[in-house]
Amino acid sequence: MKRRVLPGLALSLGITLFYVALIVVLPLGALAFKAASLGPEDYWRIVSSPRAVASYRVTALAALAATAFNLVFGMALAWVLVRYRFPGRRLVDALVDLPFALPTAVAGIALTALFAENGWFGSILARIGIEVAYTPLGIMIAMSFTSLPFIVRTVQPVLEDLDPALEEAAQTLGGSDAAIFTRVILPLLGPALLAGVSLSFARSLGEFGAIIFIAGNQPYETEITALLAFIRLEEYDYQAAAAIASVLLLTAFAMLAATNLLQARALRYMSGARA
């Protein structure tokens, strides 16, 4: 009798599929079923209403701004953690994961206290005419806080595994630091950066707890899509809530699917170049 390379594969696969179906597929299927119970005209009327469109705009623009900020700052933070040794490095490395452990509502309250006009940071910014709390800028900051670890933690392992010989060879050929980073290091980080950016953006789209306290939640100005869906739930309009939530779901799914496709192409290109 031929032994399996992985004993217990059938059992472990069955448990995994059951878990995925129970935790992921079932809730998403219920959401899709509830949204599908609307007719095409009613569904379009709900998702294309002026208030819903305004919430899409606020959410998407803030998520894009937060992701762009995290791309630069998260990349720099991962670089510092990997390439330099300094006092408190382990503490900084641990703090990166704080948004994962901290309840988002607590993060929202803390950010509001810090960036309100009488807060530590908000009072300083108010002197130069910058308002953060209860503005789209506050939404962006809350999204940046909760989604930063995705970029740092996807880039950091790749930086740690980079072969120093590649940089040394580029230096011997007379490459400057900027040229080495843009032509040698950055292309190798491309798939990881793409994954981190997509996860960061998807998390920002669906963020709720950290935003509602600092946003002000004014319709057409600082109301995010997740909050609008929650408002429809409080009104017992479950179909409208499902329809609005489905827009976020489809957007995140399409973006992640496109990201996986781009990652696969990038990895094939890198493998072909190395060969």
pLDDT at 151: 92
DSSP assignment letter at 157:
H
What is the identity of the amino acid at 273? A
Residue with the bigger pLDDT between 143 and 260: it is 143
Phi and psi at 87, nearest 5°, equal: -60, 135
How confident is the model at residue 166, as a pLDDT? 78
Identify the pLDDT of residue 149.
Answer: 92
pLDDT-derived band of residue 269, with 50, 70 and 90 as boundaries?
Answer: low
Q: Name the nearest CA neighbour of 149 among 77, 209, 252.
A: 77
pLDDT for residue 67: 94
Share of the chain above pLDDT 90, in %: 26
d(CA 83, CA 49): 50
Whether residue 5 has pLDDT greater than 60: no
Measure the CA–CA gap between 243 and 265, rounded to whole angstroms.
33
pLDDT for 128 equals 87
Query: Which residues are within 8 A (CB) of 235 and not within 5 positions of it... i.e. 6 or more apart?
Result: none
Question: What number of other Cβ atoms are within 10 A of residue 159's Cβ?
Answer: 17
Beta-carbon contacts of 264 under 8 Å, excluding residues fewer than 6 positions away, are none
- Segment 38-92, tens digit of pLDDT: 888 888 999 999 999 999 999 999 999 999 999 999 999 999 998 888 898 899 9
CB-CB contact of 77 with 207 (8 Å): no
pLDDT band at 2 (very low <50, low <70, confident <90, very high): low
User: What DSSP designation does 88 have?
Assistant: T
Query: What is the pLDDT at residue 119?
Result: 84
pTM, rounded to two decimals: 0.84
To which residue do tokens 């448990």 refer?
15
* Spatial CA neighbour of 153 closest among 115, 195, 111, 101: 195
